[in-house]
């Protein structure tokens, strides 16, 4: 299950069947949005509920199947419950009757593996209170907070919300600026946005929308135009932008049109810096020059979209990299959060898209296997800039690249 276009923090609710997960969601929402039943196993597949928690803000809560589900279908539900962990920013684990056995330990272990913060809610405390010994042992052993709660009485829902605030990473619910550190009040930013077959009808793509909003939030001025209008615009207006941002696919045209004393980068690269593994992208991008015949390259798209005849991930990037290297290379494209069909070690390079429709946490989880396997990673925009010979200029607004590392220039 993917986050889709939900950039709100995702909070997963986990526990055994009939632990009160759906009831907790209803209490947090202040309304009946999840089906509640005394029958164990009412919730089957993970279900997303989007709403606003009073006192915190908009979130997406994920209601999961019980970790103790049974039977062949139960195994599949447990698998989906475990897979949902890679999409969340915070986990809430419900327990009852002071019971914490192999099921709960399995969940906590997976939370730690995925670097997901968590806390424990001892539910149904109106029936059996949380034992102080159990509380102390778990807090010391697991190094996480435990709170007593009763869905029926709903006495301390505010304490649960306070724990959400304290435990969830700040980056999960705060929106850092894309380019706020690059521009000042009143600066003009030029956005070069081609309208081609891949552009949605009647709209512009999400990274361009995000850039416009960020520029306005920083009290600067956004000027949006197509690539063929750039030369005439600069010549007629004599305007010198503080920064130019282009679609990566037309880097060469933008590089030729934008004077060298004006910083130039791409929408994909500003997203890479905001939410990607930018430092490892910087290390991995030059590895394109080291690719050999027979190497396999993995392209990771974070969304699922209609594939055009000149698709960026499936057609253009493979063509540009093959032409640049002169090597016989193999390419695999994986969209959304689908599983890899091959082991990550089969790849010589992984290329991640900008990730405009997912969160930083989800994107980092996507590239972590490659990092652990010492597979170089890069980003769509950075890879395109590299093979087109303008990598140094494209990343210059953010970091200085040593010429010695760019032998191809």
Is the Cβ–Cβ distance between 297 and 329 less than 8 Å? yes
Is 162 within 8 Å of 80 (Cβ atoms)?
no
Q: Which of 183, 176, 177 is nearest to 262 (CA)?
A: 183
* CB hemisphere CA count around 331 (13 angstroms): 18
Estimate to the nearest angstrom the gap between the alpha carbon of 179 and the chain centroid. 18
pLDDT of amino acid 32: 57
Q: What gap in Å lies between CA 398 and CA 306, rounded to an integer?
A: 32
**Which residues lie across from 378 on neighbouring strands?**
351
Cα separations (Å) of 67 from 79, 123, 130? 9, 16, 21
Distance CA 232, CA 404 (A): 36
Instruction: Report how far residue 248's alpha carbon sits from residue 35's, in angstroms, rounded to the nearest whole number.
Output: 46
What DSSP string describes 29-70?
Answer: HTS--S---SSTT---S-EEEEEEETTTEEEEEEE---TT--
Residues whose CB is less than 8 angstroms from the CB of residue 25 and which lie 6 or more positions away in sequence, other chains included: 13, 33, 34, 49, 61, 63
- Rounded average pLDDT per 10-residue block, the chain, 409 residues: 56 92 82 49 64 77 90 89 90 93 92 92 90 88 89 80 86 75 95 76 82 94 95 96 95 96 96 92 97 97 58 90 97 83 95 85 87 96 96 93 51
Tell me which residue of 58, 65, 69 sits closest to 11, measured CA to CA.
58
Residues 6+ apart with CB under 8 A from 244: 189, 190, 191, 192, 254, 258, 262, 263, 264, 265
**Dihedral (CA of 167, 169, 170, 172) sign:** negative
Which of 350, 381, 355, 382 has its CA nearest to residue 367? 350
Domains of the chain with bracketed CATH: 10-173 (3.40.50.300), 188-269 (3.40.50.11420), 279-389+398-405 (3.40.50.11410)
Q: Which residues contact 236 (CB under 8 A, 6 or more apart)?
A: none
Separation of alpha carbons 244 and 259, rounded Å: 10
Q: Which two tokens stand for residue 38?
A: 């005394």
Q: What is the structure's pLDDT at 150?
A: 87
Which residues are CB-contacts of 93 (< 8 A; sequence separation ≥ 6)? 14, 15, 104, 107, 108, 111, 118, 119, 120, 121
Which of 259, 241, 271, 284 lies closest to 391 in space, CA to CA? 284
């Amino acid at each position: 299950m993917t986050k889709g276009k939900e950039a709100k923090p995702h909070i997963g609710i986990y526990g055994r069947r009939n632990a009160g997960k759906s009831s907790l969601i209803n209490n947090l929402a202040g309304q009946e949005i999840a089906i509640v039943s005394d029958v164990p196993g009412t919730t089957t597949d993970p279900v997303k509920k989007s709403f606003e928690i009073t006192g915190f803000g908009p979130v997406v809560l994920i209601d999961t199947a019980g970790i103790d589900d049974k039977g062949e279908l139960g195994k599949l539900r447990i698998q989906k419950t475990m897979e949902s962990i890679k999409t969340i920013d915070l986990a809430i684990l419900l327990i009852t009757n002071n019971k914490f056995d192999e099921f709960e330990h399995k969940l906590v272990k997976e939370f730690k593996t995925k670097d997901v913060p968590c806390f424990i809610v001892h539910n149904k405390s109106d029936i059996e209170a949380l034992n102080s010994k159990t509380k102390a042992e778990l807090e010391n052993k697991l190094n996480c907070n435990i709170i007593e709660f009763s869905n029926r009485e709903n006495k301390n829902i505010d304490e649960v919300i306070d724990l959400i605030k304290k435990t969830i990473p700040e980056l999960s619910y705060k929106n850092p600026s894309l380019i706020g550190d690059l521009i000042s009040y009143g600066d003009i930013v030029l956005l070069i946005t081609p309208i081609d077959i891949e552009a949605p009808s009647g709209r512009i793509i999400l990274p361009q929308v995000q850039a416009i909003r960020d520029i306005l939030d920083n009290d600067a001025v956004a000027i949006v135009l197509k690539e063929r209008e750039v030369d005439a615009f600069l010549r007629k207006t004599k305007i010198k932008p503080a920064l130019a941002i282009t679609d990566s696919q037309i880097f060469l045209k933008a590089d030729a049109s934008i004077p060298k004393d004006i910083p130039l980068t791409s929408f994909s690269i500003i997203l890479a810096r905001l939410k990607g593994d930018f430092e490892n992208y910087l290390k991995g991008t030059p590895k394109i020059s080291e690719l050999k015949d027979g190497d396999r390259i993995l392209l990771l798209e974070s969304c699922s979209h209609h594939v055009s005849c000149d698709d960026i991930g499936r057609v253009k990037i493979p063509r540009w990299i093959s032409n640049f290297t002169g090597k016989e290379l193999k390419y695999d494209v994986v969209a959304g959060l689908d599983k890899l069909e091959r082991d990550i070690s089969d790849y010589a390079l992984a290329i991640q898209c900008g990730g405009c429709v997912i969160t930083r946490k989800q994107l980092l989880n996507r590239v972590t296997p490659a990092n652990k396997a010492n597979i170089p990673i890069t980003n769509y925009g950075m890879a395109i800039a590299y093979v087109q010979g303008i990598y140094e200029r494209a990343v210059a607004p953010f970091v200085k690249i040593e010429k010695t590392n760019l032998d191809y220039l």
